[in-house]
Amino acid sequence: MVREAVNGDLKEILELYLCLHEQSIPRESDHLYHTWKQILEDENHHLIVNEKEGKIVSSCVCVIIPNLTRNVRPYAFIENVVTQTAFRGLGLASECLEYAQKIAKENNCYKMMLLTGSKQEKTLKFYRKSGYNSSDKTAFIRWLDK
């Protein structure tokens, strides 16, 4: 079942992120709970989850970004696409991306952008099959230190 995250999902989402790139689950803190609250309350921030067997096993984030170009139409940014290893290949991440696309269309977005740190051809093929391309734009990342 694909849906948006709710308050009680934090622990499972943090555990799922260990399959993404995280090395550990953040320690409980006011900062963690404040950030979680911000995400849940932000009407432009959509943390999408997919449940299988009553457990969150796949997820992505879709952020709607207001914009002054393209006839003042927003765009959607997709990040943190992840599926637990044992559940990959079942179409669960595709369902999350389809849900994100629905949100983007409902918000009159003119495009969706997705970044991946993966260089694995299997992952890149998955994004291409999902309708994304890597030829229209060039992405640059600048990492910031604390």
* Interval 8-34: pLDDT, tens: 999 999 999 999 988 999 999 999 999
SS3 state of residue 24: coil
C-alpha angle 62/129/18, rounded to 5°? 50
Q: What is the pLDDT of residue 145?
A: 85
**Among 137, 45, 62, 67, CA closest to 104:** 62
Homologous superfamily (CATH) for 2-119: Gcn5-related N-acetyltransferase (GNAT) (3.40.630.30)
Q: What is the pLDDT of residue 117?
A: 87
Q: What is the dihedral of CA 109, 79, 124, 142, to 10 degrees?
A: 110
Q: What is the pLDDT of residue 21?
A: 85
| Residue 146: pLDDT over 90 | no
SS3 state of residue 31: helix
User: Can you give the pTM of this predicted structure?
Assistant: 0.94
